[in-house]
Amino acid sequence: MGRPLARVLLMNPNSNAATTAAMVRIAAHVLPDVGGWTAPQGPEMITSPEALDAAAMLVGAAEVPPVAGVIVSAFGDPGRAALAQRLRCPVVGIGAAAAQEAAWHGSFAVVTTTPGLRARIDALMQEQAGYTGCFLTGGDPLALMRDSASLDVALLTGCRRAASAGARAVIIGGGPLGEAAERLSPAAPLPLISPIRAAARLLRDKLSI
């Protein structure tokens, strides 16, 4: 017999299978049975509105096996709305879930590496009260992803800027930044929201598990 289907499917709209595996491991801290899906085409890391729109089309039309719930694990939640309309299970996006959790702190900000997505991030975050803005790291996002030490320094610098601007919590904005969010949580100057964990907690609540 084959392996039973996972109860929850984490969908990575980026085309990097290693990133999918890392995100599944993070979600598995919260949910008992998580499988992964990786976009079959497109960039390894979404950095532009055009790539986000293409990912939304891909995710929204994807064949999804019978599962209890789905996590769309890119920060712009591409394809989440389309999937939610056609699937008979809860579908949560890591961006909206993170904003919902961060808003509990009163005021919150996003720290991320992708300046090209700033307008999209702002629009999604502004659906929750208390959003104070998006703080960007410098440099090329893909180059930063290849150097975890430099990435951590850049993200922590952004967190300190967000704290100085009055944020009481910070979201590390991006599914591929999930491992960095895990590493930086103890060192951050204010509560750090992991979008993957936030989405997993939200889905766990919806499924009552």
pLDDT digit string, tens, across residues 95-147: 999 999 999 999 999 999 999 999 999 999 999 999 999 999 988 999 999 99
**Interatomic CA distance for residues 137 and 162, integer angstroms:** 12
**Interatomic CA distance for residues 158 and 89, integer angstroms:** 36
**Interatomic CA distance for residues 102 and 96, integer angstroms:** 10
The answer to whether residues 102 and 128 touch, using CB atoms and an 8 Å cutoff, is yes
Residue written as tokens 């997505």?
Answer: 117
- In the predicted structure, residue 3 carries a pLDDT above the cut 80: no
pLDDT digit string, tens, across residues 71-99: 999 999 999 999 999 999 999 999 999 99
**Interatomic CA distance for residues 100 and 114, integer angstroms:** 21
pLDDT confidence of residue 31: 95
The answer to whether residues 170 and 163 touch, using CB atoms and an 8 Å cutoff, is yes
**Interatomic CA distance for residues 14 and 184, integer angstroms:** 23
